Amino acid sequence: MRWFKYASPQAFFPVAGKLVPWFAAIAVILGVIGLYIGFFVAPTDHQQGDAYRIIFVHVPAAWMSMFIYLVMAFWATIGLAFNTRMSSMMASALAPTGAMFAFLALWTGALWGKPTWGAWWVWDARLTSTLILLFLYFGFMALQASIDEPRRADKAGAVLALVGVINVPVIYFSVQWWNTLHQGSSINLTSAPTMAMTMLAGMLIMALAFWAYTIAITLVRVRCIMLERERHTDWVKQYVEAKQ
Amino acid sequence: MIWASWSDFFAMGGYALYVWGSFVVICGCMAGEVLLLRQQGKSILAQLVNARAANAPHKGEKQ
């Protein structure tokens, strides 16, 4: 039950600040290891040559774009249901990073698609639903920016985030439900992966690196949001005083 | 080492444009995000400091 005290911005602010350097360090270390494996350990693919190495950033970015959306929708829903400001602030803090990863998944995917499929873009189910995910992130951010009153902005954004959640399983299952150009999953929960071990290791380490990066940057952003939204409180005034 | 030379590494088997185009944009976006956030943090802090300085003389008058 002690965890609920972190629903107060005043309590969470210093904790977030202490966590940032740890997650930043983890992100850098895992990133270096993952890139080393990706570029110097994993062998050249016999079908795709070295173009496949984009997988070491494409899949982590795509995973993060979906995962961040789910976490964002989760916090937005908590904020909507329990009227907690801190939860809504977390949702708002997650959106820009999620949008970035959705864009990067599409960008790296296009650069991978051109040499391997012969096309920068196709309107297949997975690519289209990922583009929709990007639009949902933009919509969430634009909607919140357009509403002046913060609590109303939180609630409106939360409804949009919640409605958009259906898109995430659509992206995930798109390669099973439809006939897509995008390949099916090489990793699933029920069977052994169909990738070489070194490639899989590099990809998973990069995914964890992106995850740690996301946590670090979201905590920094939520602290900025907290200072802005809680500027009328004593604890923010004291913090500003101490910073001078 | 799987590469015969550094130039082989940078050539990426002929796929240099696609591979480096991906990695450079990713690094750029992440670095950009970090820098942008740092800038936003400084600007918010500056605004709050200014707001406090603007309020301080008023507090003196209310005695």
Across chain A, what does the average pLDDT equal? Answer: 93
DSSP-based three-state secondary structure for A93: helix
Give the residue from chain A lying closest to B35, CA to CA: A217
Nearest by Cα to A131 from A163, A74, A171, A161:
A171
User: What region does A83 belong to: left with phi over 0, alpha with psi -120 to 50, or beta?
Assistant: left
Token representation of residue A24: 């930043």
Is there a contact between B18 and A97 if contact means CB atoms under 8 Å apart? no
**pTM: predicted TM-score of the whole model, two decimal places:** 0.92
Is there a contact between B19 and A51 if contact means CB atoms under 8 Å apart? yes
Q: How confident is the model at residue A176 (pLDDT cuts 50, 70, 90)?
A: confident
pLDDT tops 50 at residue B16: yes
pLDDT tens string A180-205:
888 887 777 666 777 888 999 999 99
Structure ipTM: 0.89
For chain B, give the percent of residues with pLDDT over 90. 57
pLDDT tens string A70-115:
999 999 999 999 999 999 999 999 999 999 999 999 999 999 999 9
Residues in chain A closer than 8 A to B48 (CB atoms): 227, 231, 236, 240
Q: Is A111 on the interface with B (CB under 8 A)?
A: yes
Contacts of A40 (CB under 8 A, 6+ apart): B1, B2, B3
Of A108, A217, A237, the CB nearest to B34: A217
Among residues 1-40 of chain B, which lie with CB inside 8 Å of chain A? 1-3, 9, 12-15, 17-19, 21-23, 25-26, 29-30, 33-34, 37, 40
